[in-house]
Each structure stands twice: as structure tokens, then as C-alpha cells.
Chains A and B, each alone.
Chain A
Amino acid sequence: MSPNSPKKEYSRKDFTSDQEVRWCPGCGDYAILAAMQRTLPSLGSTPENTVFISGIGCSSRFPYYMNTYGFHTIHGRAPAVATGVKLANPELDVWVITGDGDGLSIGGNHLLHVLRRNVDLQILLFNNQIYGLTKGQYSPTSQVGKVTPSSPLGSIDQPVVPTRFALGAGATFVARAFDISKKLPEALTAAREHKGAAFIEILQNCPVFNDGVFDLVTDRKTGPAYQLWLEHGQPMTFGANGEKGLRLNTKTLGLEVVTIGEGGVTEQDIVTHDETNRQLAWLLTDLPNVVALGVLYRHRGPVYDESVETQRELAEDQFGDPDLHALLRQGHTWTVV
């Protein structure tokens, strides 16, 4: 497309590269890729203004399959590289693709800082609770006791909760979804619309090294009992018939699962989701026997790349046009005759 041609309508095909996808058969990454390729055209994204930056790991092969600009960088550093891209050209729509190992082990530091700075990016953390590309060692999100080649007697590491990490880092947008969910495009859309760093944890099945670890949540039959889809301003109910819900236990200052109509529980007792409430979001990160999905937290805060621009404009107002001649003569000069 030349810059002068009329605005083109894009389809999934326009965002699909000519590269053969090389993930294992049955990998959850396929579903996430498809959701992304389907969703971007509906967001008004263009291939030329979209950039995917990844680190290392199975998920980080993602950019090769998107017909956009892409940079498959080094282990853990994608958030830093993406920050640089955004600083060079704030107009670009930049997505970071990372995993539980890439983003929370080797790259934990960068994830922390990109979130607290609130750089205008979307960060997708594919969480399969395992190291796939190195053949199945436990990851920082693996459950205690997980038996792997490097933990024959079970992992003794306490796992990190990605959404809790993000909130703790000061993220302004925190969401959760899973690979094969029909609602994944909604989460991607919400992340894209957010100004600032938007963090989505995507539960993702690794059929080879950690098959079925999220089955209770993602299975069509058992899922409804374990999926709590959050909607701002709506009561937090779930279950096949919406019969379950979350109630605030004022003694423990925690949320508890209750069944409406049992033990005197009424709809009035169910907490309404307020995605601007950080305390509530914190409670939703790690619930007993149910997984909160959708947007846990959303807040408009100062955006890093916008602040950089503001400071640059201030400097331009204050100092005027750049003048190298004057710069080199700042301070004291003298003339030898």
C-alpha cells in the first residue's frame, strides 16, 4: 500500500505472515495467535504501525507469525526493547509477548519497571507454568510439588501470581484470560484501548510438558464452576446458572465463595465489581476455588511516553531551536590571537 492510496480495510489474512507456525500440535499458543490475528483488524490496527516484541521461549516465537513489524529479542528483555521502540516512535502500537519464565524469572526486573513507568504498551504473558523450550523444567509459576526433570522430588519454590506481581508493580491495567476462551478478543481489545501499560495474563496449555494444568478452569464442562468473568458495575457471580458469587468476609478482609439461596445468602450479599478499585483487584488475583477473568483493574495514570514528550516540548519552549554552535560555547570560552 502506498501512503496515498485510500484507507484499506484489513482482514485476518493481512496480519498473517507467510511463515509456517512451528509450535507443538495442540499448543495453546495457536488459539492466542488466531485471536490476535482476528482482533487486530477490528481495532483499526494497520500492519505497518503494529510491532510485536518478544523475548525467548515458546511464546516469544509469536512475532514471526504476525505480518507486522516484529523483533524476537533476548531472554527477558522484551519490555526494555519495547520501551526503546516506543521512545523512538510513540505513534507505533507496540505489543510485548512474554511467558512465565521470560517475564517473571529472567525478565522479572524489566516487567516490574515497564509496569511502574506505565509505558503505553500491551504486555501479554502466556502462563503455562512450565519451561517448554528447554524441555519441561519448573517455572516461577509452577505449583509447589511439581515434578519436573530439574525437580524430581517436586518443586520447592513458592509460585508467583502474575496478576498480583503486576498490581504490586503499579500496573494501571491488569486482566486475565485463557488461550481457548471466546472472550480473549475482548481482553485484547480492552488492553489495546488502555493508555499505558496493559498487562494480560493468558493461561495457556502446554500439551507436552504440563498438559491439562488449567483443565478445571478451561474445560467446557467444569469451566463454568471455576470461571468468574468480571464485568464493571455487575455483581460477581458465576456457576452454570450464576448461582455462585463472591461475598466480602469482613472478619478476614477477604472474598469468599457463596451460593445464593443457601445459608441466607441473597443477591444483595454479592460484591459488585469495580475495576477502578485496586484493593478489590488485589483480592481478585488469587481466589480460592475460582479464577477471576476479564479486567481486574483499570486506571488512567500518567503515561511514560507522553511525559517524555511533554518534557521535550518544555525544553523546546525554554531553550528554543537547537543550536550546536551555542551549545559548544556554553560556559567559558576565550580567543587566542
Chain B
Amino acid sequence: MIRFAGDSGDGMQLTGSQFTTATADAGNDLATFPDFPAEIRAPAGTTYGVSGYQIQFASHDVLTPGDAPDVLVAMNPAALKVNSDALKAGGLLVVNTGAFSSNNLKKAGYERNPLDDGSMNRFRILSLDINKMTLDAVKDVGLGAKEANRCKNMWTLGLMYWLFGRERDQTVAWLENKFAKNPKVAEANIAALNAGHIYGENAELPHGIQAYEVPAADLTPGEYRNVSGNEATAWGLVTGARLAGLKMMYGSYPITPASSLLHQLSRLKHFGVTTFQAEDEIAAIAAAVGASFGGSIGATGTSGPGIALKSETIGLAIAAELPLVIVNVQRGGPSTGLPTKTEQSDLFQAVVGRNGDAPLVVLAAATPGDCYYMAIEAVRMAVKYMTPVILLSDGYLANSAEPWPLPDLDALRPFPVQFHRDPEGFHPFLRDEQTEARAWAVPGTPGLEHRIGGLEKDRTTGHISYDPHNHHRMTKIRHQKVAGIARDIERAKVDQGEGEGDLLVVGWGSTYGAISQAVRILRERGHDVSHLHLRNIWPLPEGLGDLLRSFNSVLVPELNFGQLTMLLRAEFLVPAESLTRVTGQPFRVAGLVESVEERLQRSAE
């Protein structure tokens, strides 16, 4: 496992993603975790400007980006300060001494140079003046000093490629393409990349530092690509709209970490996708609701404060019973919170965060690749049941990449929408007997002119109604319609382990990899532990209560203060316990294993 760390302007995200591509090419399984500051270019050399990119890769299957890196690349003192505690004892520390000026040391909060005072002795240290070696490597190209210095990330990448036996071709091609209009910059970056690699080949490195060989992983045969959660979500939305036979209108207001959904979808106009960058979060979802009224599938995406701003309009879509997909790429809260960090703290807001009794469907994707299938499922449920669907993703899923077996498109079952066209006996709240979905009649259809809105409607005519009994009945219908969707989803089942026993670990969302790996380790150590991962948050799958009761205890790890725990307790009266971590970072596998073992020991005593 490697972590690249440097200033936000040092190009660490590019370095990491190039290493990821080369690693996928080498046939390893992998998982990544980009971690960057909310500031675009924080003052150089400061700890809060440090940007990191972690990748775990192996010849076996990899479920998380890992806890503690084996290799840390620190491009300046601040990057060392922020990350050195995470590096494993005995791990390899690559430092760019060219950036260890007294000024930079001071900015990072070091009184003395930590490379000289013995505080880093637990690591194998490779001290290199990467600044100088990069300048030497590119001096023939004739760039200015500033531009030449920018190539140092490629020098570093070249060295890492040598260390782990990765091929350079793909990165060379990428650089040529990226800087096609500026061949000198391309040339310099390639020269730096090669120089770093050659350094590794030729230099006499300190004892204990040599090239590693990580053989290809035993992945299921097939065609793969790397995919991040936001890419997969965008493609899933497009695929869902096509399976429904509808155009899509995606309304959005830029917000971290959901903006890339808008970027992706705005390039897919030829797929029948219209994107609308609205004036605010409310207009973004309001336009999506309008588009659904008009016969498209309306969708919107947001995060953090954005989902709060959309609440009233979600309520309108519930009252008007219009299909709508809301992607919430969760981030640290409350308020502005931690814009670039991950969290799972919007579960309550998704399930119950509206005025009135306002039920809707809540789904949660488990991995970056799973975002594709859950986005399709969100569209399917929205149009089948005429309901808004919230798809919960998070900052970690959004930006992390994993090798993804490409889906078999022919195996995806279409769910073509049939608009209501028959004027006979029509009113807008005419319901399908089975699904209780109301008729979807779109403007432009002769004879079906009707009015809908946020006021309560009479269940038999669709006109405004203040009748007390009608309101009770309509509230019940809205509740039953969503509750009934439980019959349309897979029954609750464990992902790993037996269906009964000592301890059931229940997770949801992006913690899938960490929990799965932790439970695997616990089972290898002989503990009677199973793992269940919820993709349907509301309604919950059938059979869940019985399954929870089949274990002596239930533990719910979440990146919030116990929201799913409370939901499970309320729904099933089970003594589920919460394991919380709200640091803006994903769970660490070792931390989970330790917590579970502690609990098992306590309950055994």
C-alpha cells in the first residue's frame, strides 16, 4: 500500500491516478482513496494544504484502500507531518529533501528537521533531492524554473514505477495526449518520469530497499476498467433512463463532492440527457420535478447542505407522486461541515427529513462499481412506483476507484414506461392495483388535462381536499405504497457467514469493503461473526427482523453517531449496538477487528 502526499499544487492526485492505471494494467486488484483539502490551492507548505492519494494493491482481492501504508511518499515537510503517524513501522519513507527548507519546516510546525533528529528511525528512509534531480532531468527541454519544478511528481512516479515493476507506456501516452498543445511540457514530464525510473535502476539504494514484485491478482475473467463512484452513478443514471425508455433531465448546482456527476452527464447530451446548472439547489431539484411532470425522468445530485435545501421540493414530489432520483453524495456535516471528507450522517435526513409524513425510497451503494447498479435501481423504482428515490453515496465512494468488471448490458432487464393515454375514467390519482403507483399522464396528451400540486388531493377525484378522513387515507396510501416496495427487493440475507450465531455486523453504504475484510479476518480467527450489508435503507428488506433476532448480538458500524442503529432498534425492537467513527475518514480494518474482538471478549466474560 502506497500513499502519495504533497502540496495541493504538487499534482498528487494525478500521480496517484496514473499509478492506479498502471497497477490495473499489471493485473493487480486495487482500491484507492484520494484525500484532499477543501481549499483549491491552500498556501504552499502548510499542513492544511496537504493532498494525499492512497492505493492498496495486491495479487489477491482488495476490498479497501487499506489502513496503514507500507510506503509513504512525502513531497514536503507538511506532507510528512500529516502522514508519518500512519506509516507502518518498518515502512518505506520516500522524502523530497529539496523541499525541506527551514521555512517549509517551520510552516509544517517542525522545530528541528525530523529527518535528522531520529524521530523517523522506525522507518526505512529514502532521502532524495527530487527537486534538484527533476531540474537536472528536464534542463535540456528549456522550460522556465517554475514549469520545470512542476515535473517533480512525474520523477517520483517514475521511481515508484521502478520500485513496483509497473510499465510507463500508458503514462507516456497520457502525457503526450494531455499536453498535445504544449509538446515541451509533455517532453519535460516524460523526461522526468524516465529519469526517476532510471534512478531506481542505477542508484545504490540503502540496504533493505529494492524493487518489489506484486504478481497479478486472481480476478474473475472478463473485461475490466477502473471506475469511481461518481462515474458509475452517472453512467447508471443514463443506463436507467434508457432502460425506462425516457429522456433524462439532470438539474444540479455545483457542490463538493457531487459536482463531477454534473460534469459527466453534461457530456452525454447525445444520450438524451439534458443537464441544467441551476441558480441554486432548490431550482435544481424544482426543474427536475418539472421535467418529470413533463414526461422525462428528472434527477438531481447534491451533498451536505444541498440535500437540506432540497427537502421541501422532495416533499412536493411525494405529494404530487412524481418520479424523481436524488443522489446524495454525503460529506461531513452539520452545515458546511467537511466538504471534501466522507461521512454517512444523512441517513435520518434521507429517511425522515421532511415536513409531514413523507415516505420515499432510500437506497445506498456499497462500492464504487455498485453505484452503477444502484443508480439503475433508483430509476426503476422511481418510475415504477411514481416516487422520489434518494440514492445515498458518499465522498469516499465518489472519488475512490476500483477495478470494475464491465456490466453485461444485454443482461439488464428493460422497464419501459407506459404513459397513461386513456381518457376513460381518468383522474390523476388513479392507481395501479398492484403497485399503488398513480397514473403518469404527461402534458401534450389530449383528454387527460389535469392539475396536481402540493395541496392534499381527494383520493377518488384528484381534486383539492381538506376532508379529514381523506387526508388520513392518503397518508396511509403514501405510506403503504413505499412500504410495499419491500416485496420488490431481495429478502434480507447475510453477505458473509451463517444466518445465525454469535454476532451479526450490519453495515450500509461505503463501509462494505472495510467491514467485509474485518469480518473475514475475524472468521479466520475463529469468531462466530457474520456480515449483512444493507442496500435498501427504506423500505428495509423483508426478513430483516428475523435475521437480526437470529444472532446473540448485533453491531452496526457507521460513519455517523448511530443513525441506522436507531432505525433498526425502532423498527425491530432489537438491542443493536452502535460502533461509530466520525473523523471524515473511512473505517480502518484493523480498528474494526479490534473493536469487535473487544466486544466479543466483554460479552464472553
When A69-B450, A322-B271, A327-B235 are in contact, do A77 and B223 touch as well, CB less than 8 Å? no
Across the interface, name the chain A residue whose C-beta is closest to B174: A332
**Pairwise interchain contact B450-A70, C-beta atoms closer than 8 A:** yes
**Pairwise interchain contact B225-A81, C-beta atoms closer than 8 A:** no
In the complex, whether A153 has a CB less than 8 A from a CB of chain B is no
**Pairwise interchain contact B222-A335, C-beta atoms closer than 8 A:** yes
Contacts of A73 in B (CB 8 A): 286, 289, 316, 453-454
In the complex, whether B113 has a CB less than 8 A from a CB of chain A is no
Which residues 175-201 of A sit at the B interface, judged by CB distance below 8 A? none
In the complex, whether B517 has a CB less than 8 A from a CB of chain A is no
**Pairwise interchain contact A77-B225, C-beta atoms closer than 8 A:** no
**Pairwise interchain contact B406-A88, C-beta atoms closer than 8 A:** no
**Pairwise interchain contact B445-A48, C-beta atoms closer than 8 A:** yes
Across the interface, name the chain A residue whose C-beta is closest to B267: A315
Residue from A88, A312, A320, A321 whose CB has the most chain B CB atoms within 10 Å: A88
- Report how far A1 CA is from B220 CA in the complex, Å: 58
Q: Which of A81, A316, A327, A332 contacts B293, CB < 8 Å?
A: A81
- Report how far A109 CA is from B289 CA in the complex, Å: 18
**Pairwise interchain contact B406-A84, C-beta atoms closer than 8 A:** no
Q: How far is the CB of A281 from chain B (nearest CB, A)?
A: 24
Contacts of A53 in B (CB 8 A): 290
**Pairwise interchain contact A72-B291, C-beta atoms closer than 8 A:** no
Q: Which of A68, A92, A328 contacts B225, CB < 8 Å?
A: A328
Contacts of A327 in B (CB 8 A): 235, 238, 268, 271
Contacts of A64 in B (CB 8 A): 451, 453, 464
Contacts of A63 in B (CB 8 A): 451, 453
Contacts of B235 in A (CB 8 A): 324, 327-328
- Report how far A109 CA is from B280 CA in the complex, Å: 9
**Pairwise interchain contact B449-A69, C-beta atoms closer than 8 A:** yes
**Pairwise interchain contact B453-A319, C-beta atoms closer than 8 A:** no
Q: Which of A80, A87, A328, A337 contacts B274, CB < 8 Å?
A: A87
Contacts of A112 in B (CB 8 A): 279
When A332-B21, A333-B225, A336-B222 are in contact, do A49 and B443 touch as well, CB less than 8 Å? yes
Residue from B170, B238, B276, B455 whose CB has the most chain A CB atoms within 10 Å: B276
Q: Residue-by-residue, is A41-71 near B (CB-CB < 8 Å gives 1, otherwise 0)?
A: 0000011110101001000000110111111
**Pairwise interchain contact B283-A77, C-beta atoms closer than 8 A:** yes
**Pairwise interchain contact B219-A336, C-beta atoms closer than 8 A:** yes
- Report how far A88 CA is from B296 CA in the complex, Å: 6
Which residues 438-469 of B sit at the A interface, judged by CB distance below 8 A? 442-455, 463-464
**Pairwise interchain contact B287-A81, C-beta atoms closer than 8 A:** yes
Q: Which of A66, A71, A83, A110 contacts B452, CB < 8 Å?
A: A71
Which residues 136-183 of B sit at the A interface, judged by CB distance below 8 A? 170
In the complex, whether B249 has a CB less than 8 A from a CB of chain A is yes
Q: Which of A315, A324, A331 contacts B269, CB < 8 Å?
A: A315
Which residues 7-34 of B sit at the A interface, judged by CB distance below 8 A? 21, 24-25, 27
Which residues 560-576 of B sit at the A interface, judged by CB distance below 8 A? none
In the complex, whether B304 has a CB less than 8 A from a CB of chain A is no
In the complex, whether B294 has a CB less than 8 A from a CB of chain A is yes
Q: How far is the CB of A17 from chain B (nearest CB, A)?
A: 7
- Report how far A262 CA is from B448 CA in the complex, Å: 61
- Report how far A92 CA is from B449 CA in the complex, Å: 13
Residue from A72, A84, A92 whose CB has the most chain B CB atoms within 10 Å: A84
- Report how far A311 CA is from B278 CA in the complex, Å: 17
When A312-B270, A319-B270 are in contact, do A80 and B290 touch as well, CB less than 8 Å? yes
**Pairwise interchain contact B464-A68, C-beta atoms closer than 8 A:** no
Q: How many A-B residue pairs have CB under 8 A?
A: 208
Which residues 266-308 of B sit at the A interface, judged by CB distance below 8 A? 268-272, 274, 276, 278-280, 282-284, 286-296, 298
Residue from A67, A321, A334 whose CB has the most chain B CB atoms within 10 Å: A334
Across the interface, name the chain A residue whose C-beta is closest to B21: A332
Q: How far is the CB of A312 from chain B (nearest CB, A)?
A: 5
In the complex, whether B64 has a CB less than 8 A from a CB of chain A is no
**Pairwise interchain contact A84-B239, C-beta atoms closer than 8 A:** no
**Pairwise interchain contact B294-A335, C-beta atoms closer than 8 A:** no
Q: How far is the CB of A160 from chain B (nearest CB, A)?
A: 18
In the complex, whether A38 has a CB less than 8 A from a CB of chain B is no
When A19-B463, A88-B296 are in contact, do A336 and B269 touch as well, CB less than 8 Å? no
In the complex, whether B254 has a CB less than 8 A from a CB of chain A is no
In the complex, whether A265 has a CB less than 8 A from a CB of chain B is no
When A72-B454, A337-B221 are in contact, do A113 and B283 touch as well, CB less than 8 Å? yes
- Report how far A69 CA is from B453 CA in the complex, Å: 11
Q: How far is the CB of B248 from chain A (nearest CB, A)?
A: 10
In the complex, whether A308 has a CB less than 8 A from a CB of chain B is yes
Q: Which of A56, A69, A84, A110 contacts B251, CB < 8 Å?
A: A84
Contacts of B451 in A (CB 8 A): 17, 63-64, 66, 69-72
Contacts of A334 in B (CB 8 A): 24-25, 27, 223-225
Q: Which of under 10, 10 to 19, 20 to 34, or 35 or more describes the interface residues of B?
A: 35 or more
Q: Which of B279, B288, B446 contacts A1, CB < 8 Å?
A: B446
**Pairwise interchain contact B453-A88, C-beta atoms closer than 8 A:** no
**Pairwise interchain contact B270-A324, C-beta atoms closer than 8 A:** no
In the complex, whether A295 has a CB less than 8 A from a CB of chain B is no
Q: Residue-by-residue, is A145-161 near B (CB-CB < 8 Å gives 1, otherwise 0)?
A: 00000000000000000
In the complex, whether B313 has a CB less than 8 A from a CB of chain A is yes
- Report how far A82 CA is from B290 CA in the complex, Å: 6
Across the interface, name the chain A residue whose C-beta is closest to B279: A113
In the complex, whether B247 has a CB less than 8 A from a CB of chain A is yes
Q: How far is the CB of A318 from chain B (nearest CB, A)?
A: 8
- Report how far A327 CA is from B450 CA in the complex, Å: 39
Q: How far is the CB of B570 from chain A (nearest CB, A)?
A: 29
Contacts of B577 in A (CB 8 A): none
- Report how far A82 CA is from B283 CA in the complex, Å: 10
Across the interface, name the chain B residue whose C-beta is closest to A72: B453
Q: Which of B242, B271, B286, B446 contacts A81, CB < 8 Å?
A: B286
**Pairwise interchain contact A2-B450, C-beta atoms closer than 8 A:** no
Which residues 63-121 of A sit at the B interface, judged by CB distance below 8 A? 63-64, 66-74, 77, 79-89, 91-92, 109-110, 112-113
Q: Residue-by-residue, is B200-244 near A (CB-CB < 8 Å gives 1, otherwise 0)?
A: 000000000000000000011111111000000001001100100
Q: Which of B224, B292, B409 contacts A335, CB < 8 Å?
A: B224
In the complex, whether B43 has a CB less than 8 A from a CB of chain A is no
- Report how far A279 CA is from B447 CA in the complex, Å: 46
**Pairwise interchain contact B249-A84, C-beta atoms closer than 8 A:** yes
**Pairwise interchain contact A83-B294, C-beta atoms closer than 8 A:** no
In the complex, whether B377 has a CB less than 8 A from a CB of chain A is no
Contacts of B224 in A (CB 8 A): 333-336
Contacts of B294 in A (CB 8 A): 84-89, 92
When A80-B290, A324-B239 are in contact, do A48 and B443 touch as well, CB less than 8 Å? yes
Q: How far is the CB of A42 from chain B (nearest CB, A)?
A: 19
Contacts of B452 in A (CB 8 A): 70-72
**Pairwise interchain contact A333-B406, C-beta atoms closer than 8 A:** yes
In the complex, whether A220 has a CB less than 8 A from a CB of chain B is no
**Pairwise interchain contact B287-A335, C-beta atoms closer than 8 A:** no
Q: Which 5 A-B pairs have the closest CB atoms?
A: A84-B290, A72-B453, A88-B294, A84-B287, A80-B286
28 contacts between A and B (CB under 8 A): A56-B454, A69-B449, A69-B451, A70-B450, A72-B452, A77-B283, A84-B276, A84-B287, A84-B288, A85-B290, A86-B290, A87-B276, A87-B291, A89-B443, A91-B444, A113-B283, A316-B270, A322-B268, A324-B242, A325-B409, A328-B225, A328-B409, A329-B223, A329-B225, A334-B24, A334-B25, A334-B223, A335-B221
Give 7 A-B pairs besides A49-B443, A329-B223, A333-B225 with Cβ atoms closer than 8 angstroms.
A73-B286, A80-B286, A81-B286, A81-B289, A85-B293, A312-B274, A334-B27
User: Residues of A at under 8 Å CB distance from B?
Assistant: 1-3, 17, 19, 46-49, 51, 53, 56, 63-64, 66-74, 77, 79-89, 91-92, 109-110, 112-113, 308, 311-312, 315-316, 318-322, 324-325, 327-329, 331-337
